[in-house]
Amino acid sequence: MVNVMPLEAMPVSPPAVAAQFALLADPLRLRIVESLAREQLCTCHLIAITGAKQTTISNHLRILREADVVLGEAEGRFTWYRLAPGAFAEGLRRLQGITKPGEATPRLRPACAP
């Protein structure tokens, strides 16, 4: 018998994990997150990298900050942004748990029909 952790026992709720993936569903936000995964950047750098307007970048950064996956540190007139430690870690763990079993996924329940 295979020991399977029920979804209810997972540390983060499915809606919370889905919200993490929803943050990455926007192509520009994904590009911002990928850029911040490599280095700390300010808005002007993200404008140059993405070609997006300042207001658009600022709006996406606000969404990412409100979701607690991006942190900003003011330095003079500029704010430097970076990914929060562990940002998206739980979502990645859940995704790995989904993709790992593959063909070895067991049948744990009997058929429904008698």
What pLDDT, on a 0 to 100 scale, did the predictor assign at position 93? 85
Q: Which helix (H) or strand (E) holds 59?
A: helix 54-66
What is the full DSSP assignment across 4-57?
A: ---GGGSSS-HHHHHHHHHHHHSHHHHHHHHHHHHS-EEHHHHHHHH---HHHH
Q: Which helix (H) or strand (E) holds 94?
A: helix 89-99
- Does this model's pTM top 0.85? no
State pLDDT tens for residues 2-28. Answer: 444 444 444 567 788 888 889 999 999
State pLDDT tens for residues 38-76. Answer: 999 999 999 999 999 999 999 999 999 999 999 999 999
Q: Where are the domains of the chain?
A: 13-95
Fold of 13-95: Arc Repressor Mutant, subunit A (1.10.10)
What pLDDT, on a 0 to 100 scale, did the predictor assign at position 47? 97
